[in-house]
A and B are shown apart, each in its own frame.
Chain A
Amino acid sequence: MPLGFKSCCVAITALLSLFVAVALCNVFLVSPATLRHALSDGSVWPVVKVSLETSLLAACLAMLLGTPVAYVLARKTFFGKAAVETLLDLPVALPPMVAGLALLILVSPSSPTGSVLAKAGLHLIFTKAGIVLAQLFVALPFYIRAVRSAMFAIPPSLPAAAAVLRATEAYTFFHVILPLSREGMISGFVMCWTRALGEFGATAMVAGCIPGVTETLPIAIYTRATSGDLASAGAAAFCLAVISFVTLIGLRLAFKDTAQRRKA
């Protein structure tokens, strides 16, 4: 690599890293006294609890529903597959507010689907279930993408070998496909969970902001910052950043051995 080009790449990398570090410093470098005060008044912890509960439930549902979908998309050929793939990817490209509005119309009691859900006793507007729905809708494509790529990378000879060894498709799915897609499933789960944890627009549209019930960390940061309570907003932002940071470090550590094995 010519020295000028190399120096240019290194300089850009350094500048970008500095920019991210300086921007995040404002979140992480909250004075301990301010943080202690904001956390001890008891208004942040319920928000953290709601956020963790709903985002983890959304990620678990994404894993449950997204794994068979990823399998079909990775390993089956059928008419209209490209259309289905585009449709399932759409929430990633869609502005969260648009996704939220679409969900709001879908589950509103005045809509046919909403009235059916209401009759079944499932109330999604201004409830935690609504938060989970919004987070799942927005974050599911991240899980499907990661697992689909992992399953697609499995050599076709392995499921073929399983078939000629008298294994049914279901047995092959659970004993060959899933274990070999483990890394994709873990990283997909984490990506999906962190996306759900940070979800704002769609959640606000469907579940609103009822303190202690539907107030999630991103919504709390927004409402508290816009109402001038920067200390409380900072504490909520600190919690969200710490959760994201710890998750990222955990993921890197989890895959460290695999990366080293591949290098070797």
Chain B
Amino acid sequence: MITLDNICKRFGAREVLRDLSFSVASGEFAILFGPSGAGKTLLLAILAGLEKPTSGRVLIGGSDMTHVAPEKRPVTLVFQRHALFPHLSVFENIAFSLRARHTHRGVVRQRVGELIALAGLEEYAHAKPDVLSGGQCQRVAFARALASDAEVVLFDEPLSSLDQVAKAGLMSELKRLHRVKKFTALYVTHNLEEALALGRNLYLLDDGHVKRSAQTDQSQNCNIL
């Protein structure tokens, strides 16, 4: 479970996040929806430990992680522009987290092989990211995030730079990965259509804090918006 407790973040006199509190239950796929500049990416950076809040607490699985370094948190982040390592192949990108934790070579080969198959990237295992399409890059980024064995996966508008066809394919891919791996997910987007298509639990971030939240129903009607 992720809990943000009265998070504030100021840059000089400018307060970007104000007394922000909300929780995401374990195994839930939550969507944080909000306009550009609302502080969605900043919120994810605070959750991942890449930014420190000015005040407030970040609780993950009941433990206070506010001052814990990013590499020690059970959280990973899928970046908007993939952030794949350009000097590493698809296999090496996915294996990065396992190797960083000194996982046995055989286990790395097996785990990465499984994730490559799960993401449908068998043909590209030895390709460098610069020869992949945007959609393929994002699939590598998903697989790489899952290889980190993080309990919580944060998604920072990962589909925003893709065309509609690639986006639709990846959304169902993402839902399938969530069903299989059962991680807790927080997905931020400014795209309402994407938000409604992906998750049942929506949070609206505007003017520095989460204003309202609601569950979308199967017909994708959302009573908060």
A64, chain B: closest CB distance, angstroms: 22
Q: Given the complex, which residues of B lie within 8 Å of A157, measured CB to CB?
A: 79, 81, 83
Q: Given the complex, which residues of B lie within 8 Å of A176, measured CB to CB?
A: 85
B106, chain A: closest CB distance, angstroms: 20
Q: Given the complex, which residues of A lie within 8 Å of B97, measured CB to CB?
A: 165-167
Quick one: given A168-B71, A180-B86, A180-B87, are A162 and B79 in contact (CB under 8 Å)?
A: no
Quick one: given A168-B100, A176-B85, A180-B87, are A163 and B49 in contact (CB under 8 Å)?
A: yes
B14 at the binding interface (Cβ < 8 Å): no
Pairwise interchain contact B85-A158, C-beta atoms closer than 8 A = yes
Q: Which of B75, B81, B84 lies in contact with A164, CB distance below 8 A? A: B75
B101 at the binding interface (Cβ < 8 Å): yes
Pairwise interchain contact B50-A162, C-beta atoms closer than 8 A = no
Q: Which residue of B lies closest to A167 (CB)?
A: B100
CA distance A42 to B136 in the complex (A): 63
CA distance A176 to B76 in the complex (A): 17
CA distance A19 to B144 in the complex (A): 56
Pairwise interchain contact A165-B87, C-beta atoms closer than 8 A = no
CA distance A148 to B84 in the complex (A): 22
Contact size range, A: 10 to 19
B77 at the binding interface (Cβ < 8 Å): yes
Q: Given the complex, which residues of B lie within 8 Å of A160, measured CB to CB?
A: 50, 70, 77, 79, 83
B148 at the binding interface (Cβ < 8 Å): yes
A155 at the binding interface (Cβ < 8 Å): yes
Quick one: given A160-B50, A161-B77, are A167 and B96 in contact (CB under 8 Å)?
A: yes
CA distance A261 to B144 in the complex (A): 26
A163-177 interface with B by 8 A CB criterion? 163-168, 171, 175-176
Q: Given the complex, which residues of B lie within 8 Å of A155, measured CB to CB?
A: 83
CA distance A171 to B73 in the complex (A): 16
A121 at the binding interface (Cβ < 8 Å): no
A146-203 interface with B by 8 A CB criterion? 155, 157-158, 160-168, 171, 175-176, 179-180
Q: Give the interface centre of B50, B72, B81, B144 by most chain A CB atoms within 10 Å.
A: B50
CA distance A168 to B81 in the complex (A): 22
A226, chain B: closest CB distance, angstroms: 51
Pairwise interchain contact B85-A163, C-beta atoms closer than 8 A = no
Quick one: given A157-B79, A157-B81, are A165 and B96 in contact (CB under 8 Å)?
A: yes
B48 at the binding interface (Cβ < 8 Å): yes
Q: Given the complex, which residues of A lie within 8 Å of B99, measured CB to CB?
A: 175
Question: What are 16 A-B contacts defined by CB distance under 8 Å?
Answer: A157-B79, A158-B83, A160-B79, A162-B96, A162-B100, A163-B48, A163-B49, A163-B50, A164-B148, A165-B71, A165-B97, A166-B97, A166-B100, A166-B101, A175-B96, A175-B99
